[in-house]
């Protein structure tokens, strides 16, 4: 989940900055190009969480019980 947090922070930074807003051109380009990395980090963490949940039978059972209550 920490990886996804870093991804969301990078995504927020990349989404709020544009290349034209930067004081010096390379900084704006780096900010905008980090959007791909941030999406990758978010995807990797969601995927690893799904794999962990699918392999843990006790966790699946507790999720099922909490949803049916």
The domain locations on the chain are: 2-68
Instruction: Tell me the mean pLDDT in the region 40-61.
Output: 88
Would you state the pLDDT for residue 20? 58
Distance between CA atoms of residues 62 and 57, nearest Å: 9
Distance CA 64, CA 37 (A): 34
Dist. CA 52–CA 41, nearest whole Å: 17
- Counting Cα atoms < 13 Å in the Cβ hemisphere of 14 gives 17
- pLDDT value at 63 more than 70: yes
């Amino acid at each position: 989940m920490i990886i996804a947090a870093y991804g969301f922070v990078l995504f927020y930074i990349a989404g709020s900055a544009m290349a034209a807003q930067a004081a010096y051109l390379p900084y704006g380009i780096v900010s905008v190009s980090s959007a791909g990395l941030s999406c990758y980090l978010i995807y990797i963490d969601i995927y690893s969480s799904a794999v962990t949940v699918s392999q843990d039978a006790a966790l699946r059972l507790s999720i099922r019980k909490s949803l049916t209550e």
